[in-house]
Chain A
C-alpha cells in the first residue's frame, strides 16, 4: 500500500505531512506502508492508494482518487484518526488496543 502527501510545491507542507504520517503509522503499529510526498502538478490518479492533502488544495486534488483532507498538517490526533480510517478502508488491520497514551 502506498500513501502520498501532496502540496503545491511538494517539499514543505507535504514533506512535513509525510513525516507526521510516518510517525502515526509507527504509533498505530502498522508496517509495510510506503509513503512519499509530491507536488500537485506531478501527481496522477493511481499514483497512490491514498492521497493526503491540506484543506486549501482539497479542490485541486479531488480527482486524484482516495483523497483525505486534513484541517491541520501538524495535529497528530487528526492525522492518526484519518490515517486509521484510510488504512481500514484499504483492508489493513490496526491494533489500536496496543496503543499507549
Chain B
C-alpha cells in the first residue's frame, strides 16, 4: 500500500502557502527532520523548478511531484505530500496551478520500482485524483492513500 511509504508526519494539509517555494519547503520539511534528505536536496529541487522547462514535475490534474537527482542529497528513499486548500502556481506560472505536491526522494533511478509502481497506479486513477482534489485534512489524505487501488 502506498500509505506505508509515508512516514509519520509526512502527510500534510495547509489552507494555503505564500508561493511555490514555501510549498517545496513545507513538503520537504518532514523528510529533512527525519534525515531522509539533506538540505542540498531541497535546494536542488528549487533550482530544477526554476530552470527552463522545470515545471515538468507538474503531472497534471493539479498534482506535482517535486524531486531531483539522488546525488543532490537523498539519504533514504522516501515520500511526503502536501495538499493545499488554495492552489499555488509552480514557478509562478499560470499554466501550472498545483494543489497537491508530492516530494519524492529516490536513492537511485531503478531500485524504487515498487514505490513508483504504487505511486503511478495511484496517481493515474481518476477517482484518486478527484478525491485528492477534495481532501481538506490529513485524516482524509491518509485514508485516500490507504485505500489506494
State the A residues within 8 Å of B (CB): 7-13, 15-16, 19-20, 23, 37, 54-57, 59-60, 70-76, 79
CB-CB nearest 4 A-B residue pairs? A72-B60, A19-B120, A56-B56, A12-B67
Q: Is B61 within 8 A of A19, CB to CB?
A: no
Min CB gap B7→A, angstroms = 19
Which residues of B (38-64) have their CB < 8 Å from a CB of A? Answer: 48, 51-61, 63
What is the minimal beta-carbon distance from A6 to any residue of chain B, in angstroms? 10
Given A16-B123, A19-B120, 15 other A-B residues pairs in contact with their CB atoms under 8 A: A12-B57, A12-B104, A13-B56, A13-B57, A15-B109, A15-B116, A19-B116, A19-B117, A20-B124, A54-B56, A57-B56, A71-B60, A74-B63, A74-B129, A76-B124
Are the C-beta atoms of A11 and B69 separated by less than 8 Å? Answer: yes
Q: Which residues of A contact B129 (CB under 8 A)?
A: 74
A8 touches B48 (CB 8 A): yes
Chain B residues, CB < 8 A from A7? 56
Bound-state Cα–Cα, A78 to B121, Å: 15
Are A74 and B123 CB-contacts (below 8 A) given A8-B51, A13-B65?
A: yes
A56 cross-chain contacts in B, Cβ below 8 A: 53-56, 58
User: How many interface residues does B have (CB within 8 Å)?
Assistant: 32
Verify B65–A23 contact, CB threshold 8 A.
no
Q: How far is the CA of A60 from the CA of B56 in the complex (A)?
A: 12
Which B residues are in CB contact (< 8 Å) with A57?
53, 56
Chain A CB within 8 A of B70 CB: yes
Nearest chain B CB to A18's CB is how many angstroms away? 8
Residues of chain A within 8 A (CB-CB) of B120 are: 15-16, 19-20, 23, 74
Q: Mark B96-115, 1 if CB is under 8 A from A, else 0.
A: 00000000101011001000
Which residues from chain B contact A72 at a C-beta distance below 8 Å? 59-61
Residues of chain B with a CB closer than 8 A to A13's CB: 56-57, 59, 65
Which residue of B58, B63, B70, B126 contacts A76 across the interface (Cβ within 8 Å)? Answer: B126
Q: Does the CB pair A60–B53 fall under 8 Å? A: yes
Q: State A11–B96 Cα separation when bound (angstroms).
A: 21
| Complex alpha-carbon distance, A56 and B90, angstroms | 12
Contacts of B69 in A (CB 8 A): 9, 11
Q: How far is the CA of A54 from the CA of B63 in the complex (A)?
A: 14
